[in-house]
Amino acid sequence: MVWQVVALVAGMVSIAVAAYLYRWVMSQPNESSAMAKFSRSVQEGAAAYLKRLFQALGALAVVIMLIILFALGWKSALAYIVGSTCSAVAGYFGMHVATRANARVAWAARQGLQKAFPVGFFAGGVMGLSVVGFALIGMTLFYIIFGDPQVILGFSFGASTLALLAKAGGGIYTKTADIGADLVGKVEFNLAEDDPRNPAVVADNVGDNVGDVAGMGADIFDSYVASVVAVMILGASLFAGTAHGESYVLLPLLLSAAGILASLLGMLFVRTGESNNPGRALNTGTIVTAILFALFTLGVVFLLHIDRPWGVFWPTVAGLLAGVVIGFTSDYFTDIDQKPVQNTAAAANTGPAIVILDGFSYGLLSIVPSIVGICVAMVAAWVLAERFGIAGTYGVSIAAVGMLAITGMIVSSDAYGPIVDNAKGCAEAGGEAHETIAVCDRLDAAGNTAKAITKGFAIGAAALTVLALFAAYAETVNLTQLDLRNPGVLVGVFIGGMMPPLFSALTILSVGRNANLMVEEIRRQFREIPGLLEGKAPPDSSLCVDIATRGALKELILPAVLSLTLPIVVGILLGKHALGGFLAGSIVTGIIFAILMANAGGLWDNAKKYIEDGAHGGPGSEAHKAAVVGDTVGDPFKDTAGPSLNTLITVMSLSATIFGPIIASLALFEL
């Protein structure tokens, strides 16, 4: 019980520090009425979206809870509701502070980068620490009360359901607004980014928050919880009846607590210093956090009296290193200072077709180092665990926990991105001086890099997490092998492999349909509101916000239903072996598509920004127009379909694992 209390206290400390950071951020001044007005518009739009999202989630959650109640009992049903609620509360807190910090960052930017940067980063810290705090408290309480990791699986499934809706819905919302604002504002009327005359600017800024704060937070909350639960299930199964069996179940909770402590200390090192380089400050914080976590892990495995400490320490470190490497691989392919982005920007002189070809090709190329990194981490974790007498499946699973343990720091850096992006919008809307906007630009550049690194990190984390969940599924249904000569397994592999591209197609088509409505509305306002283009009359931003909100939630229905039900249908029709093949196929194509779309989209975005900084003719040039087309194609790649695939494969793996025993007993055919 002592170690459970330690984990519980760590979660509470995380929430307490998040509350302190919230109060500090809210105490920062904002004395510009124009910026405050813009910020309030973003707050109202975000609140309206969250209200509708939570209403939709509530209806879906009640249905799923009733199914779990009759299928698995009240304990799992309760865990499901609490899991979805904890994820929602963490997302709400993060969104609440993010939409209020933007104007405060912009006001602080008047005094320079060193004043503005801490406001943006600590506002992001509220989200990061809320995610890990609520997750660890929820998991630990359920283990203290029920003592059964299978019950906590319901908590994880609840978090996954919300993550699927929040990430996919947020992605559709943000790209509907972003594409509409770019196509009409930039291409047709030659307006700058965040120009207050553009009717879609407020919706675009709201989208940054619902996609990259609430959405990404829910996504990593989902992977964070799923990785811990998978290890707890494997620990309870593989080490049942041994002298140290309980230690292997408790280990992921204690590692999560160590990760919170490392993140809190790492945040103290996030300072721009004399270099005035926010990107370097964020990277320093991440590296320090990783080093501290590795040291704390060593302490945890010995304090728990694990009989084979090195067999869990080295796989944990392997997962941690893989997360950092995969994140910085994404940075190389999307960084404005690297060759892939600059080469693609140069290709814009030829036209949009070559921009798209180059970006897509670099996206394909970026798959190689990321997949190699995941494979190396997986093999290293397996071999190192086996070398010290621990099951390789447990080693791979604990590597996922190692990668995700520093989530507090990772999500803080990620949430910083949309906050400072919104700050630039506030500065533009408030008519701030060029120097203030330039400071916001530097903060935003670091934020874009942080978001790219986090997307890579999230993909790598999802990869190891679903491998851990696959092992948990195999243990749950007693699946000892998958024979590719079995037609049922092959059918499962193909159907599972089909799901990520199908899900991507549905979400990207959703963005296209909604963006078309947004474009027509923006054109209508420029055509019918006298003086709008001249800046003499304000746009009706609320109509654009409403189009994005209604469209995002409407388009979620089909992808959500497919992802939640198809694994169960495959299992009931074809049996547990076919379902195992289904999960394997979805993992492979899901990770590959996620890497491709995240990195290609980020590359197109920064190629456009590279030209906007003055290269190849600058804004308004033919190269710029070609780059905007590439960026428009990349928007739903990197912010809608790509990141949602992490959640998709996790949700399907959890659905198979939680309903596994029932599926096995109801299977019509067992091929």
The residue with greater pLDDT, 155 or 463, is: 155
Confidence category of residue 48, pLDDT binned at 50, 70, 90: confident
**What are the backbone dihedrals phi and psi of residue 502, each rounded to the nearest 5 degrees, phi first?**
-65, -45
The residue with greater pLDDT, 453 or 398, is: 398
Nearest C-alpha neighbor of 462 from the set 152, 127, 252, 225: 225
Given a contact cutoff of 8 angstroms between Cβ atoms, the answer to whether 455 and 638 are in contact is yes
Given a contact cutoff of 8 angstroms between Cβ atoms, the answer to whether 67 and 181 are in contact is no
Given a contact cutoff of 8 angstroms between Cβ atoms, the answer to whether 374 and 460 are in contact is yes
pLDDT at 660 exceeding the cut of 90: no
pLDDT at 170 exceeding the cut of 80: yes
pLDDT at 275 exceeding the cut of 70: no
pLDDT at 240 exceeding the cut of 90: no
The residue with greater pLDDT, 271 or 670, is: 271
The residue with greater pLDDT, 485 or 498, is: 498
State how far Cα 408 lies from the chain centre.
13
pLDDT at 625 exceeding the cut of 90: no
Nearest-angstrom CA–CA distance, 469 and 462: 10
DSSP for 275-301, written as a single string: GT-HHHHHHHHHHHHHHHHHHHHHHHH
pLDDT at 584 exceeding the cut of 90: yes
Domain boundaries, the chain: 2-666
DSSP for 219-281, written as a single string: HHHHHHHHHHHHHHHHHHHHTTTSTTHHHHHHHHHHHHHHHHHHHHHHHTT---GGGT-HHHH
Angle at 628 between CA 544 and CA 427, to 5 degrees: 55
pLDDT of residue 657: 86
Given a contact cutoff of 8 angstroms between Cβ atoms, the answer to whether 293 and 235 are in contact is no
557: number of Cβ within 10 Å: 11
Token pair in block for residue 308: 């084979």
Confidence category of residue 278, pLDDT binned at 50, 70, 90: confident
Q: Read off the pLDDT of residues 175-231 as tens digits, 9 standing for 90 and up.
A: 888 888 878 877 778 777 777 788 888 888 888 788 778 777 887 888 889 889 988
The full length of the chain comes to: 671
Q: Read off the pLDDT of residues 24-34 as tens digits, 9 standing for 90 and up.
A: 999 998 777 78
pLDDT of residue 155: 92
For residues 268-296, give the mean pLDDT. 84
pLDDT at 585 exceeding the cut of 90: yes
Q: What is the dihedral of CA 183, 186, 188, 191, to 10 degrees?
A: 140
For residues 255-274, give the mean pLDDT. 89
pLDDT at 274 exceeding the cut of 70: no
State how far Cα 2 lies from the chain centre.
33
pLDDT of residue 354: 94
For residues 421-428, give the mean pLDDT. 84
Q: Read off the pLDDT of residues 491-511 as tens digits, 9 standing for 90 and up.
A: 999 999 999 999 999 999 998
Given a contact cutoff of 8 angstroms between Cβ atoms, the answer to whether 253 and 143 are in contact is yes
Choose from 174-183, 552-561, 624-633 the range with maximum mean pLDDT: 624-633
- Residue whose entry in the numeric block shows the structure tokens 């027509």: 520
For residues 408-436, give the mean pLDDT. 84
- Residue whose entry in the numeric block shows the structure tokens 């470190």: 317
For residues 18-43, give the mean pLDDT. 87
For residues 139-164, give the mean pLDDT. 89
- Range with the lowest mean pLDDT among 219-223, 230-234, 352-356? 219-223
- Percent of the chain exceeding pLDDT 90 equals 27
Nearest-angstrom CA–CA distance, 185 and 191: 5
- Percent of the chain exceeding pLDDT 70 equals 99
pLDDT of residue 82: 93
pTM score of the predicted model: 0.89
Choose from 114-118, 323-327, 642-646 the range with maximum mean pLDDT: 114-118
Nearest C-alpha neighbor of 560 from the set 222, 56, 17: 56
pLDDT at 463 exceeding the cut of 70: yes
For residues 165-179, give the mean pLDDT. 84
Given a contact cutoff of 8 angstroms between Cβ atoms, the answer to whether 104 and 124 are in contact is no
Confidence category of residue 20, pLDDT binned at 50, 70, 90: very high
Helix, coil or strand: residue 621: coil
Confidence category of residue 671, pLDDT binned at 50, 70, 90: low
pLDDT of residue 270: 87
Number of H helices, E strands in the chain: 22, 0
Nearest-angstrom CA–CA distance, 407 and 226: 13
The residue with greater pLDDT, 319 or 292, is: 292
Q: Phi/psi class of residue 419: alpha, beta or left (left: φ > 0; alpha: ψ in -120 to 50)?
A: alpha
pLDDT at 522 exceeding the cut of 80: yes
